[in-house]
Amino acid sequence: GGVGKTTLAKAVYNSVAQKFDGSCFLENVRENSKGARGLVELQKILLREILKEREVEVTSVARGINMIKERLQYKRVLLVLDDVSDMNQLNNLARQCSWFGMGSRIIITTRDRKLLRCHGVRPDLIYEVQELDEHDALELLSVIAFKRIRPLDSYAELTKRAVRYTQGLPLAL
């Protein structure tokens, strides 16, 4: 963790969500799915946000699956499932693309690449967030701070220390 998957997913979500019939960003699925009613609560949030309804009654995980399939199958949705850690979470929130209307998009952030493959996500649809090497990180920070590719001479050492401190994490720069 820690390379900025959630932040990147949020940025994408915020820039395109209005182009869909409905959208939902389910944050921290790993933690929020725990407990007897965790998945039911996530299903309720998903339905409430996409349908833009105040109250949605979900009595069980199985009922939640049926409601998602019935009520969202013709809606073009953007769904972000953030920090997914097991197949059960995927199966109960977005098992199949057919649960949602044509043109829907599902973004999944996870630390476990195998989880995506097991869920049938095509390898060409998987984007792995990378840390920047020191040269690229230095260039990015220079462009942000100084509006040029190299830092000002008087800031060269400080800029290098900042890059080492952030360990190549683009969003920390």
pTM for the model: 0.79
Domain span holding position 139:
134-166
pLDDT score recorded for residue 153: 85
Beta strands in the chain (DSSP E): 22-26, 77-84, 105-110
Q: Are 43 and 121 members of one domain?
A: yes
pLDDT along the chain (173 residues), means of 10: 80 95 97 94 98 95 98 98 97 96 96 90 84 78 81 84 77 62
Q: What pLDDT does residue 61 have?
A: 97
Q: What is the pLDDT of residue 2?
A: 66
Q: Does 47 reside within a domain?
A: yes
Same-domain pairing of 105 and 138: no
Same-domain status, 148 and 70: no
The DSSP-derived string for 83-137 is: EE-SHHHHHHHHS-GGGS-TT-EEEEEES-HHHHHHTT--GGG-----PPPHHHH
Together in a domain, 36 and 81: yes
If asked whether residues 111 and 142 sit together in one domain, one would say no
The answer on 138 and 121 residing in a single domain is no
CB 72 within 8 A of CB 99: yes
* Co-location of 147 and 113 in the same domain: no
Structure tokens at 47: 């339905």
CA nearest 68: which of 36, 93, 45?
93
Kindly state whether residue 66 falls inside one of the protein's structural domains.
Answer: yes
Within this chain, do residues 31 and 96 fall inside the same structural domain, yes or no? yes
Check whether residue 26 and residue 104 sit in a common domain.
yes
Number of folded domains in the chain?
2
- Has residue 173 been placed in a domain? no
